[in-house]
A and B are shown apart, each in its own frame.
Chain A
Amino acid sequence: MEFLDNILVKPFADMAAAPDFLLQVLWEGLVGGVLYALIALGFVLIYKSSRIFNFAQGIMVVFAALTLVGLHEKGLPAFIALPLTLVVMLVLAITIERVVLRPLVNQPDIILFMATIGITLFLIGFGELIFGGENKVMITKELMIPTDSFVFEPFGGFVSIEQKDLTAVIGAMLLVAGLLVFLNKSKIGRAIRALGDDHQAALSVGISLSTIWVIVWFIAGVIALATGIVWGARAGVSFALEVIAFKALPVLMLGGLESVMGAIIGGLAIGILEKVFEIYWGQPLLGGNTEAWFAYMLALLVLLFRPQGLFGEKIIERV
């Protein structure tokens, strides 16, 4: 009985007893979820347009952030370092398309997936060689991201919201909105969606596969840079960031591999639920650090009922 009580009653009693703390936990989870959603968004874009399961998205986040900080350390002011980083990401996109993707067109999915793991390893080695492996501080002040925090006092309690987190959430929302408009309204966006639907049909109406791939990888690079700035402002920039790529995988699976909406909703849901689970169930009952696997178990459970994820396209198989 006490066991059931610990699982089913006590956590909710704790929540009700300290609503301000619950609010704080939810906010922290939401901010984490926004980051997962951003990384998952990069995955989805590339998967939609080329059916490549891009494992390198996580390392692109690190690489973009490291380039930005590294260039700034070399003495460049932030307003020059930022566009220069974008140029680096463009060069990276072109290189990847030229060197890796073009020779591998039409190979099975698993081969392309392995190739992106190869890209990941290469970028890790390359980045560490150039910028060093130690932790760096994100240049928040130079990018004019406020660092104070708002303090609220609801229910006679205490909730603190850091301004940089708020900036991150608003920035991410703007980025996603812009991306959705771009995908749905612009000519290139339509071309990307056309490629996602059918490669050959898209090619036959004159859409250039290689150009679109470069554009898509560049957009993924821009998203990576945004993610890198936001995450770097919270936790510093280092290759430890790479683990967040593993957080984005269950987000993708939960939301469905093809769905932009799914990535966002999946990201937010996982961010919030894993935080709540960790605080109210994980730490008191399981010894903590349940965030390492909670997202996967949740995604696995959902997939058992919906094998294509919450918002994924229905899988139709023909023999």
Chain B
Amino acid sequence: MFYPTAGQFKTSYQADYALFPVRQDAFLLGVIALFAFVVFPLTASEFTFRALLTPVLIYSLAALGLNILTGYAGQLSLGTGAFMGVGAYACYKLVSIFPEMNIVVAIALSGFFSATIGVIFGLPSLRIKGFYLAIATLAAQFFLVWLFQKWGWLYNYNASGAIQVPNIALFGVTVAGPRATAIAQYYFVLCTVCVITVFAINITRGRIGRMWKAVRDMDIAAELVGINLMRAKLMAFFVSSYIVGIAGALFVFLWRGAAEANLFDIPLSFRVLFIAIIGGLGSVLGNYLGAILIVALPVIISTVPKALGLPIDAATAEHLNVMIIGALIITFLIVEPHGLARFWAIIREKLILWPFPH
């Protein structure tokens, strides 16, 4: 009733494979876009931008990159944080070597650096599978973070060892650096995320995406039906690391403003992995739902007891936060191992059929 799909007939394969086979999906997305582009910027405060909106977008972009590798191509990666770091440091070097370079170009180029590194560390995936492959990505994780610390050239030999984002303008508006406003940064991130999402949706539902899914479901069988395993796996590593690298560049340039090497350490990798898994492996939508949950949770946990008047100090809140996230992960895995995206699919199904049970 709320989601009447009856009467929307498809008369060609093309219509069946359209981006929005059901009209209501397009309508719903339009409403979400309206909120993201118009309503939030008009109503949100500086704090909401910095603590919720921008990080949700950036984390979902990183999770999207990981999801392409782990959810679609089936290659487990525990090194997302380090690949984000490669993107961030590459962008930093590009901006400091070519100060005239447009920020969009710099961020787009920095993705290629992380993509190259991703392919190099993806090479072992041709021989090693499953959990053993996690070692290759963990090697990348620890080696790259160590490199960020030890290789002074990367952070321009700053005494602090951290990278500091300079003021960068785009079309006369400062989008990065200490003078940038939160709303400009939000719009920049939002547009980037939109472009990459469209790209990701199309690549995953096309020929390449089907190739990845075949490799994920059983790589030997995929090879037997004529899929070039090496190309499929390395392409997954390339595309995934590219998106993750861009997310890393945005992470530092459009949100944090400064970064030390240990920011990209294993907790960041795990956070992105949580988002991808809680959101749902093998879905694009899930990354956004997962990111909303993981980013909003600490904010809620720190504000709710205060609103209720419960005395809770910062340390306890922090510990509770960790505990609750752990418990939530287990709960989600038990209740719905396919993640929040599956939840939405079930709800949508129910809405279509309502008020009938079947």
Query: Interface of A with B (CB < 8 Å)?
Result: 53, 99-100, 103-104, 107-111, 113-115, 117-126, 128-129, 133, 246, 249-250, 253, 257, 286-287, 289-290, 292-293, 296-297, 299-300, 303-304, 307-309, 315, 317, 319
Q: Using Cβ atoms and an 8 Å threshold, which residues of chain A touch B334?
A: 100, 103-104, 115
Q: A107-B337, A117-B270 are in contact. Are A128 and B326 (CB under 8 A)?
A: no
A-B contact sample (12 more), CB < 8 A, given A115-B333, A292-B142: A104-B334, A118-B328, A118-B330, A125-B326, A129-B320, A246-B138, A257-B132, A289-B150, A292-B143, A292-B145, A303-B128, A319-B220
Q: Is there contact, CB below 8 Å, between A133 and B315? A: yes
Q: How many A-B residue pairs have CB under 8 A?
A: 135
Q: Is there contact, CB below 8 Å, between A304 and B124? A: yes
Q: Is there contact, CB below 8 Å, between A307 and B129? A: yes
Bitwise, B313-355 to A at CB < 8 A (1) or not (0) is 0011001111111111110011001000000000000000000
Docked Cα-Cα span, A128 to B321, in Å, equals 11
Q: Using Cβ atoms and an 8 Å threshold, which residues of chain A touch B180?
A: none
- Of chain B, the residue at the smallest CB distance from A254 is B135
Q: Using Cβ atoms and an 8 Å threshold, which residues of chain B touch A299?
A: 135, 139
Q: Is there contact, CB below 8 Å, between B330 and A100? A: yes
Docked Cα-Cα span, A296 to B329, in Å, equals 27
Q: Is there contact, CB below 8 Å, between B145 and A121? A: no
Q: Is there contact, CB below 8 Å, between B224 and A99? A: no
In the complex, how many angstroms separate the beta carbon of A13 from the nearest chain B beta carbon?
Answer: 25
B234 adjacent to chain A (CB < 8 Å): no
Q: Is there contact, CB below 8 Å, between B135 and A250? A: yes
Q: Using Cβ atoms and an 8 Å threshold, which residues of chain B touch A292?
A: 142-143, 145-146
Bitwise, B261-277 to A at CB < 8 A (1) or not (0) is 00000100010011001
B4 adjacent to chain A (CB < 8 Å): no
- Of chain B, the residue at the smallest CB distance from A125 is B323
Q: Is there contact, CB below 8 Å, between A129 and B337? A: no
Q: Is there contact, CB below 8 Å, between B150 and A114? A: no
Q: Using Cβ atoms and an 8 Å threshold, which residues of chain A touch B134?
A: 249
Categorize the interface residue count of chain B.
35 or more
- Of chain A, the residue at the smallest CB distance from B221 is A319
Main DSSP-derived SS at the B contact region: helix
Docked Cα-Cα span, A53 to B150, in Å, equals 32
> Among the listed B129, B132, B220, B322, which residue makes an inter-chain contact with A128, where contact means beta carbons less than 8 Å apart?
B322
Q: Using Cβ atoms and an 8 Å threshold, which residues of chain B touch A304?
A: 124, 127-128
A-B contact pairs, 24 of them (CB 8 A): A100-B334, A109-B131, A114-B273, A118-B326, A118-B328, A118-B329, A120-B326, A129-B316, A129-B320, A133-B319, A250-B138, A286-B150, A289-B146, A290-B146, A293-B139, A293-B146, A296-B135, A300-B124, A300-B135, A303-B132, A303-B135, A308-B132, A315-B129, A319-B221
In the complex, how many angstroms separate the beta carbon of B144 from the nearest chain A beta carbon?
Answer: 9
Q: Which 4 A-B pairs have the closest CB atoms?
A: A125-B323, A121-B326, A122-B326, A125-B322
Docked Cα-Cα span, A99 to B316, in Å, equals 24
Q: Using Cβ atoms and an 8 Å threshold, which residues of chain B touch A122?
A: 322-323, 326-327, 330
Q: Interface centre among A111, A120, A122, A250, by most B CB within 10 Å?
A: A122
In the complex, how many angstroms separate the beta carbon of B249 from the nearest chain A beta carbon?
Answer: 23
Docked Cα-Cα span, A239 to B273, in Å, equals 22
Q: Is there contact, CB below 8 Å, between A115 and B329? A: yes
- Of chain B, the residue at the smallest CB distance from A51 is B131
In the complex, how many angstroms separate the beta carbon of B325 from the nearest chain A beta carbon?
Answer: 6
Q: Using Cβ atoms and an 8 Å threshold, which residues of chain B touch A123?
A: 326
In the complex, how many angstroms separate the beta carbon of A112 from the nearest chain B beta carbon?
Answer: 8
In the complex, how many angstroms separate the beta carbon of A86 from the nearest chain B beta carbon?
Answer: 24
Q: Using Cβ atoms and an 8 Å threshold, which residues of chain B touch A309?
A: 132
Chain B residues 93 to 128 lying within 8 A of chain A, measured CB to CB, are 124, 127-128
B88 adjacent to chain A (CB < 8 Å): no
Q: Is there contact, CB below 8 Å, between B322 and A121? A: yes
In the complex, how many angstroms separate the beta carbon of A85 from the nearest chain B beta carbon?
Answer: 21
Q: Is there contact, CB below 8 Å, between B326 and A124? A: yes
Q: A117-B329, A303-B127, A304-B124 are in contact. Are A129 and B135 (CB under 8 A)?
A: no
- Of chain B, the residue at the smallest CB distance from A128 is B319
Q: Is there contact, CB below 8 Å, between B322 and A293? A: no
Q: A293-B143, A293-B146, A296-B138 are in contact. Are A110 and B76 (CB under 8 A)?
A: yes
